[in-house]
Structure 1
């Protein structure tokens, strides 16, 4: 599975595309954990004090917000899924 990262998240991860050990049957949360395990510099930017994804960070699976259009971090991955993580362009997020 591969993550596409944007803006300062790509800078923190030292790359715009990061492959992780996750695939069909795993969840978006599993893929996020795998990403943060290999790129710990991202953790402070994307997780809040409780370890949850910051509300201002957008997480998409195949162009769909996993929190408003899918099952959140419990969304099951399928073959060929494309994951993306990026901060908002301006303002906050309305994902919840």
Structure 2
């Protein structure tokens, strides 16, 4: 079952859409889905990667939970129906 990424702010602009569906599904990892996202929307790569690694300011959420902080990072295993989201750095002040 495909998984949908929700993209926010300039990430959606770069990808050309706020929603990108990838083939990764239950049993795959968030990292697998992330790689497929970059294949579907290569314009994101320069914004979210630095030297081939995920930029530290980028937030990756699975069902509203930041996988980089509260789960197993990109190794987090997907379950059927998971919603993934990618947020750029949030600036405030």
Partner deviation per Cα, 1:62-96 (whole Å, 9 max, x = no partner): 111111100000000001101000112216xxxxx
Work out whether 1:4 is the aligned partner of 2:6.
Answer: yes
What's the counterpart of residue 39 of structure 1?
41
What's the counterpart of residue 64 of structure 2?
63
What's the counterpart of residue 94 of structure 1?
none
Moved more, 71-80 or 82-91: 82-91
Aligned-CA RMSD value: 0.9
Give the deviation of 1:28 after TM superposition: 0.1
Q: TM-score, structure 2 length as denominator? A: 0.94
Runs (4 or more) in structure 1 with deviation over 4 Å come to: none
Extract unaligned runs of 5+ from structure 1. 92-96
- Which is richer in helix? 2
Do 2:28 and 2:77's aligned partners in 1 also have CA atoms closer than 8 Å?
yes
Count of matched residue pairs: 90
Partner deviation per Cα, 1:4-26 (whole Å, 9 max, x = no partner): 00000000000000001110000
Extract unaligned runs of 5+ from structure 2. none
